[in-house]
Amino acid sequence: MVRNWKLWLGVVVSAVCLWIALRGLDFHTFWMVVREANYWWLVPGIGVYFLAVWARTWRWHYMLRHLAAVPLSRLFPIVVIGYMGNNVYPARAGEVLRSYVLKRKEHVPITASLATVVLERLFDGLVMLLFVFVTLPFAPLPPVYASLITVLSALFLAATALFLAIAARPARMSRAYTWLVGRLVPVRFRPSVHGLFDRFVEGLQSLRSPRELALIFLSSTLIWLTETGKYWFVMHAFPFETSFLVLMLMTAVVNLFTTLPSTPGYIGTFHVPGIAVLMAFGIDQAVATGYTVVLHVALWLPITALGAWYMLSEHMGWRDFGQATEAVQ
């Protein structure tokens, strides 16, 4: 029931976002823009995107080294499977799926590796907020998004403070957690719940070193600058030109919006902010929509196809999504 509720919430959010994005669109001009685009520019764009995926793999490899030394060559397919899962299954199930595959192949506890995945998302959010604040003096954000950015800033900063506190004082947090569990959880479930907390804290070890924090933040920044490079290459397929700073702003706002519930693949939540940012800088709606739709497909299709191939090569099927979810319950 809860799963269905989340699914339908995502459908509603995506439908509303699509309605907003396509309202007033001249479909004849839109189709002409899409037909006349120079799709050769997608080739370097996709190449740059996979450089970003490789950088994500290195970042996860670095964050996992407290738990296990997993070679990049073995970790890359797992990362790709996870991103494919996010693209085709609701509620970012791909994040759980890649921790499940990591356990199956490298015997790393799911809860501990999930902690590193949560940290990845946290650092991604912080970098997106950095992009917004760095580009604002040169590419002002449309006012309609200011409130959302303020709320997300508060949430990401609060989450960062919480995880830093847990990593810095694990014994104190464990006492507080033990007290809470002792009053809310039945006796027979307490050992397993405590085990989950201990493994999760183990996955937060990267937060205990300023050097490691700096490396994770710098690698996260490099990842998103590289992904903005894909936005830049795809832009050249269309009849408009804008600055790299505007594309950084678009990257940030789009990816902050995709934290909202939506259908698999972030339909609607990707499109409405991307189109709105471009239109705010004088780009025609039909051109902005054509570019954003093609960019979304170019981001979605290659990694999804490669992830599906890796899943088949690992003899995995759709039932593994369910098994992955059950493994952390």
* 238 pLDDT above the threshold of 90: yes
Start-to-end C-alpha separation, the chain: 16
**Which structure tokens are listed for 141?**
């954000």
* 29 pLDDT above the threshold of 50: yes
Residue-level pLDDT at 160: 79
pLDDT digits (tens, 9 = 90+) for 149-177: 777 777 877 887 887 777 777 777 777 77
Instruction: Categorize the per-residue pLDDT at 193 as very low, low, confident or very high, splitting at 50, 70 and 90.
Output: low
Nearby residues of 204 by Cβ (< 8 Å), 6 or more positions away: 115, 119, 163, 166, 167
Residue-level pLDDT at 129: 87
**Which structure tokens are listed for 93?**
């199930």
User: What is the C-alpha to C-alpha distance for residues 81 and 93, in angstroms, rounded to an integer?
Assistant: 11
Where in the chain are the domains?
A: 2-21+41-327
* 278 pLDDT above the threshold of 60: yes
Q: What is the DSSP string of 126-180?
A: HHHHHHHHHHTTTSPPPGGGHHHHHHHHHHHHHHHHHHHHHHH-HHHHHHHHHHH
User: What is the C-alpha to C-alpha distance for residues 241 and 140, in angstroms, rounded to an integer?
Assistant: 17
Residue-level pLDDT at 20: 93
